A and B are shown apart, each in its own frame.
Chain A
């Protein structure tokens, strides 16, 4: 297990390095550099920067240096001082901006994941065990509706219902809006997971070990949870990898519609106004989150499934 973990951590290093390179290239992508943009911005506002200030900034970002020096300055700032650079749109450091937004985002993502699981596991299991029953069709229909309805539409409808029917205050960051956001984000993920679990469990239910366990006289409920369900849950853990970043990045539209202060709208705004340090940093963080998520799901799989732990070393 320790060797497995060590090797997985080692594999992360080149992956994260590549992600950071890509993020840096994205930051460098727009024509001109950060300073010319800044000067233009000041000029547009009728102000000007003096040469000393420009030189100081030039020094700080190493804009005259070759690519790899600039990259090193950028990445070492992040690694050693958590300095992601400056957002010129907000005129604040990117790290302080993210510090404001990330906790809410992570809370939203975590709670959504939890809701997804709480709803999807029992529904998926029920659909599989009672295949082609009315309950199965109902769950399938609801699942498809959840998949097919655009999230922002659902968000608008729910906001409107909350406001008009229950007289709740919506449209700003408060618990009600937050709960609606979780519900809206959860529906789409839930629908997908119900289908995955149902398909997996149906496969597992037909395996000989299920019949063999039943032939020992195991009660149905215990049989289901201990044997096929445990194997069928494997893909759930695999989904953590891509679920994390998609929850952080995927709520852009919903959060914009609902006016939530999360990272999603920040990224959208940064991309629209070419606030490249902010955008690049968020992309970097999302990329690293994907890698970390994959690592977590791999560890969870190895921990829960002896086949992964012992056989495929």
Chain B
């Protein structure tokens, strides 16, 4: 970053001018890149999208270096231009987008001159040689990135034959070897499988196999694990690291997950609104963040082991749309240390801060009469909540009766096959589940996808009709208990307002043709058949204000809102009937870290205010640890462990819980490796033919031949020392020494400002 940052300085100061620095001599650049050990230098890249009326500056002057043979992580919230930067490298920007300026110096061979990829015709032959041949790319949605019309073998063979002169038979051999290399079991058989017959993790392995089939010098991975389970994510990250070790390739890894960054990165670039805010080595970024945005991002991550019920430091507001990018420093609208008259006028220059560490912030200007602020940016938000949760919130009140008692709940889906669509088997999505939810608590429900947690939630709200079992709901006002599983549609109606759901997808769950008023008042009108009069409008307006939206938005349509705001609308719609129990089904999974922190804080405030009970379904263990009083872990339709959050995370009593916990990336690069990883062997077994005995025994590292594969363990008290609420379904729960996560340690707190 040394000689090059001077260029950046000048360019940042003169954004309006086109390409001030023009040392476009490939040979000279090549020598310079070889000297610094850089394989790809993105230099002042500007990618704009030309709309009818406005120009969207998705990437606006990003400069970053990808070092040879190392892993560079690009991190930032969505809408920061990370993906567009990655796609620009390979010329994959669809019209009306265009690279407007800057250089993409690509330098795979240290002896040869560098190539400016930005200067190549995106439809020409030259860039096609680079794509796949020299730079491989992996995308976010593995399923959708493979064509459903061809077998994965065909697609792999095609990729190989594009860049290598081999016969089809040789290509087939190479393809099978490649599939084996990325850890696909039985590659000869999988060769003829289609993408939709494989799991997401398998598809991502295939994508990696395709991307690496021609031994590229650089792998660009665009959020490759975002759509996957933690356990799968851990294995894919391992795979990428292992392949990098084998081939010595460089990796540019785009993610929004700081845990992943801490796990794999050598170097980090933090992007904000199309520019690089800060870059440096992973320890620089995590231990000595200098840009307020980096500091705020780090503060808003819920980490395993962090004290529960502590408010998360959310970044105020959200990423502005690139169409109305702020003048001056792009971050000044959300920056806690904004200096009026400076930050909102001039864009800060990139300042070198030592070895490969640089940040673009006015605070770092040595000429400025103000010491760099390193205090936590969102300090007011981290203040302990004094009035809020009642002292008893930590422990489960033992005397009270549960609000909801689920007993022996089963949900079975038939599998139909053959000539007459006969039922040949059953998928036990939920199999004999017992669960108590106590008033005022937040119960977390975790597990890999396909374990039945969503089905369980839907059975409780009676979006599905359970096959067997009872769902006993105790009305907190009258004390009368009703079995929701037995009620008909009419009798259910009064309970529909007491038990509400917040859905995962903030985009799919709101009808785009209805205004907020119609959307939020809908439950009122459906249940009370209330007329849409002014009292309803007042109620909706009050609720909007309560969830942090302006009441003026009443007549707007959902498309005008961002993901976080839509989730607020969803919360408003769930709470408008004053429910007692709210089932939050992955309610924050689709949101960015900073927005997620805002929503989690909001949910917490509302819980205190409306005396809500939450059933919090999530696959994100760090969020669950932060938000929940108790946690239940599900595996293949059964609950395998259930305990108070702190007990479960510190001392898990089921090997599955231990494996889940160890798969979560910890946002601290110093804890990387450290021998704490447990990798589950296989994918989830076929739920229509669950393994006999303990369902987890096929993947369990602690399996013992004597009992596990024959005898099914019951959910029972685990360990003498644990409280009565700690239940686990494992034969050896009392004897196994399982590792949980460490508590908040002194040095961890100390390293983070």
Mark A residues whose CB is within 8 Å of B. 3, 6-7, 206-209, 211-220, 226-227, 230-231, 305-307, 310-311, 313
Contacts and interface: CB of A to CB of B under 8 A. Distances in A.
Contacts of B136: 215
Interface string B190-201: 000010110000
Contacts, number: 83
B224 to A, nearest CB: 12
A293 B419 CA distance: 22
A50 B196 CA distance: 73
Contacts of B196: 307, 310-311
A230 B131 CA distance: 23
> Which of A6, A216, A227 has most B Cβ within 10 Å?
A216
Contacts of A207: 144
Given A3-B418, A3-B419, A311-B196, A216 B162 contact: yes
A275 B145 CA distance: 59
B444 interface: no
A212 B131 contact: no
B92 interface: yes
A217 B129 contact: yes
B149 interface: yes
Query: What are the 6 tightest A-B residue pairs by CB atom distance, in nearest-first order?
Result: A217-B132, A217-B131, A216-B132, A212-B145, A215-B137, A208-B144
A216 B144 contact: no
A6 B419 contact: yes
B490 interface: no
A215 B89 CA distance: 10
A230 B211 CA distance: 23
A305 B149 contact: yes
Nearest to B148: A307
A310 B148 CA distance: 11
A220 B90 CA distance: 14
A214 B147 contact: no
A211 B90 CA distance: 10
Interface of B: 87, 90, 92, 94, 123, 128-133, 136-137, 139-141, 144-151, 155, 158-159, 162-163, 194, 196-197, 207, 210-211, 417-420
Contact of A231 (B129, B149, B418): B149
A204 B197 CA distance: 20
Contact of A213 (B147, B148, B194): B147
B51 to A, nearest CB: 12
30 contacts: A7-B419, A207-B144, A208-B141, A208-B145, A209-B145, A209-B146, A211-B94, A211-B139, A212-B137, A212-B139, A212-B145, A212-B207, A214-B131, A215-B90, A215-B136, A216-B132, A216-B159, A216-B162, A217-B129, A217-B162, A219-B128, A220-B123, A226-B150, A227-B147, A230-B149, A305-B148, A305-B149, A307-B148, A310-B194, A310-B197
A231 B159 CA distance: 20
Given A211-B92, A306-B194, A311-B196, A218 B129 contact: no
B146 A212 contact: yes
B76 to A, nearest CB: 20
A305 B163 CA distance: 28
A147 to B, nearest CB: 27
Contacts of A209: 144-148
A117 to B, nearest CB: 19
A215 B194 contact: no
Nearest to A6: B419
Contact of B149 (A218, A219, A220, A306): A306
A211 B128 contact: no
Contacts of B211: 215-216
Contacts of B132: 215-217
B131 to A, nearest CB: 4
A217 B146 CA distance: 15
A166 B522 CA distance: 68
Contact of A218 (B144, B146, B162, B207): B162
Contacts of A7: 419-420
Nearest to A311: B196
A224 B151 CA distance: 18
A215 B147 contact: no
Nearest to A218: B162
Contacts of B148: 209, 231, 305-307
B131 A215 contact: yes
A206 B95 CA distance: 11
A257 B134 CA distance: 64
Contacts of B155: 213
A26 B94 CA distance: 57
A216 B92 contact: no
A40 to B, nearest CB: 52
A285 B434 CA distance: 61
A205 B130 CA distance: 22
Contacts of A310: 194, 196-197
Contacts of A3: 418-419
A238 B87 CA distance: 36
Given A215-B92, A215-B139, A306-B194, 10 more contacts: A209-B148, A211-B87, A211-B139, A212-B139, A212-B146, A214-B131, A217-B159, A218-B162, A220-B123, A306-B151
Contacts of A212: 137, 139, 145-146, 207, 210
Nearest to A212: B145
A148 to B, nearest CB: 27
A127 to B, nearest CB: 15
Contacts of B141: 208
Contacts of A216: 131-132, 158-159, 162, 210-211
